[in-house]
C-alpha cells in the first residue's frame, strides 16, 4: 500500500510517528556517509569547538573573547574540510547557531563576538553548501553592519552582510526559484536589541544574495515603499515575537510602542499585545498592520454604564424590561427543557 493511502487512514499522532521514523532512517543513511575514521576526527574537533564556543560567551575580557573567536573559526574550517562534514550536526557546540535549510541544500552557522561595553558586537557566519562528493564548499560572511546607515535599503552579498545570529529559516518558492527567509537576533547595544527578517537566495553562480524588495506595504494606510529587510529594535531583554508561525502560514511580529512615550528612542520599545503579520504572496512578504482583526458585536452596549455586549439584552440602558424579548427568552428556555436528554454514553 502506498504511503499516502496509509497516512489517510491514520490519526495525526500516528502520522507524526511515521514521519519521525522516515526522518530517522534518512538521518541514519546520511550518517553512514561519514566513515569511522573521519567521524572520530569530527568528534575531536567538536569537543574543541565546544570549548572555544564556551569561552566566546564566558570570558570576561575582550581580548580573551577575540582569541576564542579566532581559534573557533580556524577549528571550524579544519573540521569542515573533513569529507562529508556537512552531515555532522555539531550538536554539542553550545552558544552558536547552526541551521540546516529545509531542503538540506546548505547550512548556515552564525555566532556573536562581543567587544567592550561601548562597542557594538560583531556577527560571524559561514554557509556550508552540500556537495555531491562530500568536499568542502564554504562561503564566509563579513558583517558590515557597523558601516551601514540604513540596512533596510539594499540587497547585500557575502562581503557586506548585515550580521545576525539566526534562530530560524524557512523556505518559500516563486517562479521556480527557492527563497530562504532568515530570522536573526542581534544584541546590538547596551540599551536595545534587534531582530532581523530577510530573504536570501542564490544567484546563478551559487553566491548568496541577502535581501531585496521582498517586503511590501501596499495594504498599509498610507502605503509605504518596499523594504529589503525588516529591522525590529526593542528594549534590552524585552520578550519580542518575530517568527514564522506554521499553523497560521504567516510571519508574526509583536507590535511595539514606547513605554515612556518617546517614539524616537527605540530602546524604550516594548510589545503592546497586538501583532503585525507578513504573508507570502506572489514572491513577496505582504505586510498587514493588524494580524488579528476581531470584530465584536456592540449591540446593546451602554458605554457610559460600562455594560459588556450581550447576545440579546433584556434590559435597556434605563433598566426597563423589554417584555417581548423576555417572553421570547422564556419560550426558548421552555423548549430546551422539553427536549429529551442525550445519554452520556452516546
Query: Using one digit for the tens of pLDDT, what is the confidence trace for 207-237?
Result: 999 999 999 999 888 889 999 999 999 999 8
* Residue 294: count of CB within 10 angstroms of its CB: 5
CA angle, 248 as apex, 231 and 10 as ends, to 5°? 140
pLDDT band of 75, cuts 50, 70, 90: very high
pLDDT band of 162, cuts 50, 70, 90: very high
From the centroid of its chain, how far is CA 294? 24
Decide if 67 is inside a domain: yes
Q: Which of 63-77, 96-110, 218-232, 320-334 has the lowest mean pLDDT?
A: 320-334
From the centroid of its chain, how far is CA 309? 37
Q: Is the pLDDT of residue 288 over 80?
A: yes
The sign one gets for the Cα dihedral 191, 152, 169, 275 is: positive
Decide if 33 is inside a domain: yes
Decide if 269 is inside a domain: no
* Distances in whole angstroms, Cα of residue 289 to Cα of each of 87, 114, 212, 251, 255: 41, 34, 21, 12, 9
Strand 138-142 vs strand 122-129: parallel, antiparallel, or unpaired?
antiparallel
Q: Is 51 helix (H, G, I), strand (E, B) or coil?
A: helix
What pLDDT, on a 0 to 100 scale, did the predictor assign at position 119? 81
The count of structural domains within the chain is 1
Decide if 177 is inside a domain: no
Query: Using one digit for the tens of pLDDT, what is the confidence trace for 238-263?
Result: 999 999 999 999 999 999 999 999 99
Structure-model confidence comparison of residues 26 and 235, the more confident one:
235
Rounded Cα gap, residues 170 and 251, in angstroms: 10
Average of pLDDT values for 319-337? Answer: 60
- Work out the mean pLDDT of the chain and round it to a whole number: 84
Q: Is the pLDDT of residue 4 over 70?
A: no
Query: Using one digit for the tens of pLDDT, what is the confidence trace for 85-115?
Result: 999 999 999 999 999 999 999 999 999 999 8
Q: Is the pLDDT of residue 193 over 60?
A: yes
Residue with cell 567538536: 46
Three cell numbers written together for 155? 540587497
DSSP state of 180: E
What pLDDT, on a 0 to 100 scale, did the predictor assign at position 27? 45
What pLDDT, on a 0 to 100 scale, did the predictor assign at position 319? 55
What pLDDT, on a 0 to 100 scale, did the predictor assign at position 122? 93
Q: Is the pLDDT of residue 53 over 80?
A: yes
What pLDDT, on a 0 to 100 scale, did the predictor assign at position 324? 66
The candidate with the shortest Cα–Cα distance to 199, out of 271, 235, 251, 148, is: 251
Structure-model confidence comparison of residues 328 and 194, the more confident one:
194
* Owning domain of residue 68: 19-95
What pLDDT, on a 0 to 100 scale, did the predictor assign at position 295? 52
Rounded Cα gap, residues 9 and 259, in angstroms: 52
Decide if 121 is inside a domain: no
What pLDDT, on a 0 to 100 scale, did the predictor assign at position 344? 39
pLDDT band of 32, cuts 50, 70, 90: confident
Decide if 115 is inside a domain: no
CA angle, 151 as apex, 156 and 261 as ends, to 5°? 160
Q: Is the pLDDT of residue 83 over 50?
A: yes
Q: What is the percent of the chain where pLDDT is above 90?
A: 68
Q: Measured over all CA atoms, what is the biggest interatomic distance in the chain, rounded to whole angstroms? A: 88
Decide if 61 is inside a domain: yes
CB-based contact 240:310 (threshold 8 Å): no
What pLDDT, on a 0 to 100 scale, did the predictor assign at position 117? 74
Query: Using one digit for the tens of pLDDT, what is the confidence trace for 6-24?
Result: 334 444 444 444 444 444 4
Please name the residues in contact with 44: beta carbons below 8 A apart, sequence gap of 6 or more.
Answer: none
Q: Is the pLDDT of residue 59 over 90?
A: yes
Decide if 246 is inside a domain: no
Amino acid at each position: 500500500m502506498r504511503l499516502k493511502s496509509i497516512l489517510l487512514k491514520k490519526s495525526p499522532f500516528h502520522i507524526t510517528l511515521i514521519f519521525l521514523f522516515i526522518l530517522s532512517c534518512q538521518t541514519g543513511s546520511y550518517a553512514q556517509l561519514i566513515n569511522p575514521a573521519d567521524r572520530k576526527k569530527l568528534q575531536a574537533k567538536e569537543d574543541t569547538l565546544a570549548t572555544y564556543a564556551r569561552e566566546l560567551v564566558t570570558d570576561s575580557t575582550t581580548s580573551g573573547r577575540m582569541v576564542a573567536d579566532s581559534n573557533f573559526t580556524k577549528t571550524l574550517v579544519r573540521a569542515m574540510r573533513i569529507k562529508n562534514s556537512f552531515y555532522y550536526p555539531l550538536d554539542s557546540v553550545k552558544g552558536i547557531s547552526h541551521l540546516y535549510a529545509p531542503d538540506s541544500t546548505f547550512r548556515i552557522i552564525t555566532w556573536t563576538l562581543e567587544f567592550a561595553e561601548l562597542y557594538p558586537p560583531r556577527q560571524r557566519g559561514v554557509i556550508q553548501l552540500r556537495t555531491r562528493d562530500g568536499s568542502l564548499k564554504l562561503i564566509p560572511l563579513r558583517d558590515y553592519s557597523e558601516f551601514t546607515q540604513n540596512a533596510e535599503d539594499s540587497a547585500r552579498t557575502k562581503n557586506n552582510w548585515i550580521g545576525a545570529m539566526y534562530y530560524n529559516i524557512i523556505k518559500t518558492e516563486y517562479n521556480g526559484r527557492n527563497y530562504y527567509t532568515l530570522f536573526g537576533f542581534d544584541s546590538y547595544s547596551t540599551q536595545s536589541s534587534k531582530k532581523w527578517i530577510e530573504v536570501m537566495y542564490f544567484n546563478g553562480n551559487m553566491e548568496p544574495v541577502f535581501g531585496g524588495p521582498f517586503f511590501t506595504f501596499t495594504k498599509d494606510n498610507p502605503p509605504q515603499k518596499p523594504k529589503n529587510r525588516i529591522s525590529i529594535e526593542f528594549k534590552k531583554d524585552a520578550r519580542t515575537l518575530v517568527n514564522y508561525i506554521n499553523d497560521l502560514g504567516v510571519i508574526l511580529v509583536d507590535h511595539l510602542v514606547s513605554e515612556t512615550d518617546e517614539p524616537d528612542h527605540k530602546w524604550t520599545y516594548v510589545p503592546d499585545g497586538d501583532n503585525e503579520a507578513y504573508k507570502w504572496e506572489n514572491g513577496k512578504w505582504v505586510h498587514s498592520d493588524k494580524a488579528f482583526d476581531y470584530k465584536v458585536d456592540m449591540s446593546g452596549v451602554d458605554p457610559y454604564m460600562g455594560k459588556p455586549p450581550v447576545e440579546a439584552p433584556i434590559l435597556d440602558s434605563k433598566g426597563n424590561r423589554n417584555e417581548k424579548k423576555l417572553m421570547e427568552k422564556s419560550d426558548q428556555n421552555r423548549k430546551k427543557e422539553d427536549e429529551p436528554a442525550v445519554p452520556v454514553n452516546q
